[in-house]
Amino acid sequence: MIRGADIVVRSLIAENAKHIFGYPGGAIMPVYDALYDYSDQIRHVLTRHEQGAIHAAQGYARVSGQVGVALATSGPGATNLITGLADAMIDSTPLVCITGQVAAHLLGTDAFQETDVVGISMPVTKWNIQVRRAEDIAPAIAKGFHIARSGRPGPVLIDITKNAQTEAGEFNYVPCLSIRSYRPYFEIKKDEVQKAAELIKAAQRPYVLYGQGVVIGKAEAELKAFLDKTGIPAACTLLGSGAISEEHPSYVGKLGMHGNYAPNMLTNHCDVLIAIGMRFDDRVTGDLKRYAKQAKVVHLELDPAEINKNVFADAPVLGDCKQSLSMLTEAVEINSHDEWLSRFKELELLEKESVIANDLSPTKVGLTMGEVIRFINQYKADDAILVTDVGQHQMIAWRYFDYKTSKTQVTSGGLGTMGFALPAALGAQMYDYSRQVICVVGDGGIQMTIQELGTIMQTKAPVKVVLLNNNFLGMVRQWQQMFFDRRYSFTELDNPDFIKLAEAYSIKASKVSVRDGLSEAVADMFLHDGPYFLEVVVEKEDNVFPMIATGCSVEEVRLS
């Protein structure tokens, strides 16, 4: 018989959790007291805000492939997790978040820092529960970890009343392996695979779109084998980046609003569209009424809710894509599509001349975001992890970062959470101090969670922070320029001295505003042993192209 608080910690240890990201408070204090005795078995990272804690847990989970763990108190501590829960839900990130709650006898009395976090978090969690007895803590945590990591991953919240933490209960941890009525996986039907294979074999212009499901399902090798055999052109979503090498002969670029020109344009010219582990979100499809209407659609997907949700699938294959891709590869024939691939190459040249040349080798006086990423590519390691915030810098970094391996792309995709990058980079670095973690941020987003520089200072995590500063909320400004007659309403920023801020946190920092000093500054950053903050002042009114405006077809992608 041990305290409920000790049951919490020992349950996490039983699940092989190595790190917890959190912030203490009254209703979770017994758990923090218990952590004091287990510091040799589990490391707690004290962030500077609960939102920082959950984003750090997300970064940790995305890079490790394990369940991230966040810890917070009741009331405002718990509600500060909601944005991260919503972010993790839409991006399929496995998390277990544990919150303290007022004692059971005070529930419903509007006690100090009492909030119905279970009710609030229900729409943005895969599963949640409130635990009111010590004996129920271990089963809840076991169930939570199983749900978070199985099937399509997602966030779980476990709210534990204070009396459950202080009372004694029997500890006998039994890992959860199955739950009645919960089916995270489905048996793949051979007839579905065969129908998909027949469509692919008959196709003249087949086209593969792959997403994060390939990474989550650890199906990178299977995707490569499928492409090697079929020679089908393949493009990635934002979160699918890195699943295959961009040097693969079938790779044709990136999809979506600010993806590459050819992959977007030719979506409406293929005859069979093969979607693998992606959900046809609006940033990829544009106007659904004009999206790939000429094509038969094959959809390999783990979550049945995604089948026919946005795009009708002529040949849906429900199941784990690691297995379904292997079965599909066996069923299709060896092929090549050189003529079809050449059409992508032609449009790629057009984008290089119209957009990429200016982004990477500009003639203008001011620095561009693209040339900063070009220099980062020259000095980074092959397994370097890119963590980005949300905005213009995110799209530019995604477009030009040289992805070599899987699980090297960490960003907020579906929710688009500004403030995500700095704590997420910390979490990614905590998983592996030996790897380069490059945090690319804008001057708007970094100020939403800039206090996490304090966590970087305390942990000495060697995160390389690259601030691309244009003194604007750049993406909003771009839309105001293009669609609101340059009426820059509340998007220009008067920023602090970021270098002094970084140095106040004992982080080595430097600033570049001219082209001649950029290469040396990037080299110095990577040579520095420890965290580094590099501010690069870039053009104030540069725009990100190509671009598909909201409500437009993928064929209406603009180069300028």
Q: Cα(2)–Cα(377) distance, rounded to whole angstroms?
A: 52
Give the Å distances, CA to CA, from 86 to 19, 236, 293, 415: 21, 23, 32, 7
Catalytic-labelled residue, pool 41, 112, 170, 460:
112
Q: Cα(258)–Cα(395) distance, rounded to whole angstroms?
A: 6
Q: Rounded to 10 degrees, what is the CA torsion of 161, 162, 165, 168?
A: -100
Is position 171 annotated as part of the catalytic site?
Answer: no
Task: For residue 386, list its beta bridge partners.
Answer: 409, 438
Q: Cα(140)–Cα(104) distance, rounded to whole angstroms?
A: 17
What is the sign, positive or negative, of the torsion defined by CA atoms of 112, 118, 121, 126? Answer: positive
Single-letter amino acid, residue 366: G
Q: Cα(140)–Cα(128) distance, rounded to whole angstroms?
A: 9
The residues, ordered by sequence, that sit 6+ positions from 117 with a Cβ below 8 Å of its Cβ are: 74, 78, 79, 99, 101, 157, 159
Is position 475 annotated as part of the catalytic site?
Answer: yes
Task: For residue 155, list its beta bridge partners.
Answer: 95
Angle between helices 392-400 and 369-379 in degrees, nearest 10: 40
Catalytic-labelled residue, pool 50, 192, 452, 535:
50
Is position 508 annotated as part of the catalytic site?
Answer: no
Helices (H), 273-317: 282-285
Catalytic-labelled residue, pool 395, 475, 525, 547:
475
Q: Cα(116)–Cα(356) distance, rounded to whole angstroms?
A: 50
CB 470: neighbour CB atoms within 10 A? Answer: 26
Q: Cα(15)–Cα(158) distance, rounded to whole angstroms?
A: 15
Q: Cα(485)–Cα(28) distance, rounded to whole angstroms?
A: 51
The residues, ordered by sequence, that sit 6+ positions from 357 with a Cβ below 8 Å of its Cβ are: none
**φ/ψ (deg, to 5) at 476:** -65, -40
Cα angle 438-440-445, degrees, rounded to a multiple of 5: 140
Closest CA to 300 of 213, 173, 174: 213
The single residue listed with the structure tokens 């905590």 is 430
Is position 112 annotated as part of the catalytic site?
Answer: yes
The single residue listed with the structure tokens 């277990």 is 96
**Beta-sheet strand order (sheet of 315-318):** 251-254, 234-236, 206-210, 272-276, 296-301, 315-318
Distance from chain centroid for Cα 528: 27
**Beta-sheet strand order (sheet of 68-72):** 43-46, 19-22, 68-72, 95-101, 155-161, 127-131
Catalytic-labelled residue, pool 126, 143, 162, 464:
162
Is position 293 annotated as part of the catalytic site?
Answer: no
Q: Which element (helix H / strand E) includes 521?
A: helix 518-527
CB 500: neighbour CB atoms within 10 A? Answer: 9
Q: Cα(495)–Cα(505) distance, rounded to whole angstroms?
A: 18
> Are residues 117 and 157 in contact, defined by beta-carbon separation less than 8 angstroms?
yes
Task: For residue 236, list its beta bridge partners.
Answer: 210, 254
Catalytic residues: 50, 112-113, 162, 475
